Structure 1
């Protein structure tokens, strides 16, 4: 039985929008921290010191909370679309519906399993599930997934460098990685919004009978 994903998609998009704002907040505060240590390295320490500890903590806490909330709602949305794909083209789904949830939590394998599930859902949701992929058809999915993986890598490197930093130079290096991580996260969130809206629209259009489902 088909289930409407529209409400969940709106929630995911709203959370991704909030994530972009939190990332922008973190960018501003992290840049302030970097400027402090860069000034110290250049021999121009700020006599007032850094007064943004609370703001930076709030920014990072918001990012963590939004990550948890967004991931939860996104996976629920993702599983719903996978169940709908089962109705339209179950034979094209290379993995069972449970992988739309479990695939995100398997170390290393999460790099390719959710992407494969997403590609199968995409094909089942288009006008003709059995047609060959058109040129650039999966561009939104591919772009989002590539930036998403880059975001995970850069963010992890930045966090580890910051946790281990003990000198001004080390803090500047860590802050540089964190700034790049925030910027990449914003791009990933924008691409995720495009992916969610596009795939939801495809399923809604197909489910409402505006195009025929494959027989």
Structure 2
């Protein structure tokens, strides 16, 4: 006679999350670390995903290059003062024109680097946002189209990119709240845009008041004073630019590494190409977490009901011999 079963004889078997590997509890519907629903894979099968390590590295390098290319223009007043002093000593206004051309070249270099970085960042942003659609438990609030339009639409580009990256960072880095690095990056970026635009306007307004062709000592001294006054304010956007660029590079690298690691855990999907009847389906198909309930393989296994008609039932039987006819053998 079987002994009665008691509640203490049962023991809950802990399962591990397929995304982060932590033990899960049946008391919750999702992993408490990465928010993946229980029983679901790290990546939903059949959903399109995109590699992000390569484009992420390119975007990080481009952002770093654009950040560094801003510094020569920001610190150019140091060079401008030396050139203005030399021009005053020689009474040569062409030197001042050369300084203006050099400053313009630094500005063009920065704009080209910023354009390249912008294109790569938009591509990377779209890919990491698109991958969220294949991550169980991810809850992005904006669609993938905003990963592109958010950078390009006026006024929306002051808010939308931060919201998209906040979603991506939370769902990629397994955070319940937006990582502080996102807030630091976006606040520094907005402050940089405002400070750079304001200071450039003030510099241009003061520069147009200078003599176009200086001749007297006072007119040359005005150029020296202009560059001296421009140096201090320009240090503000330069410092903020470094903070924004460095934090964004770190953010890109962390998100790219986290998403690529999760994509590596995806169970490979096998195409349902036609095959001869009787061939078994790939063992990785049936029972896959993403396999639809009640679905059958593309070519089900045919049951063997008898002996193949090509094989005789008697294992000792031999093929019948053809009787020789006239001229049928050599030497006949």
Q: CA deviation at 1:62?
A: 0.6
Structure 2 unmatched runs, 5+: 1-47, 211-221, 267-289, 291-332
Name whichever of 71-80 and 91-100 sits farther off: 91-100
Q: CA deviation at 1:185?
A: 1.5
> Alignment length, in residue pairs?
200
Q: What residue number does 1:132 align with?
A: 176
Match of 1:156 among 197, 201, 211: 197
For CA contacts below 8 A with separation 6 or more, give which structure has more relative contact order. Answer: 1
Q: What residue number does 2:261 align with?
A: 205
Higher percent of residues as helix: 1
TM-score norm. by structure 2 comes to: 0.54
Distance 1:172 1:28, change over 3 A: closer
SS at match of 2:142: coil
Q: What residue number does 1:12 align with?
A: 59
TM-score norm. by structure 1 comes to: 0.80
Structure 1 unmatched runs, 5+: none
Distance 1:147 1:35, change over 3 A: farther
CA distance in 1, matches of 2:66, 2:176: 35
Question: In the TM superposition, what whole-angstrom CA distance separates every residue of 1:166-188 from its partner, at most 9, and x where no partner exists?
Answer: 25466655554333223322221
Q: Which has the larger radius of gyration?
A: 2
Runs of 4+ in 1 over 6 A off after TM superposition: none
Question: In the TM superposition, what whole-angstrom CA distance separates every residue of 1:78-119 from its partner, at most 9, and x where no partner exists?
Answer: 011000012115861111110011112233232221111111
Find out whether 1:142 has 2:180 as its counterpart: no
SS at match of 2:135: helix
Distance 1:175 1:91, change over 3 A: same
CA distance in 2, matches of 1:59, 1:8: 26
Q: What residue number does 1:58 align with?
A: 105
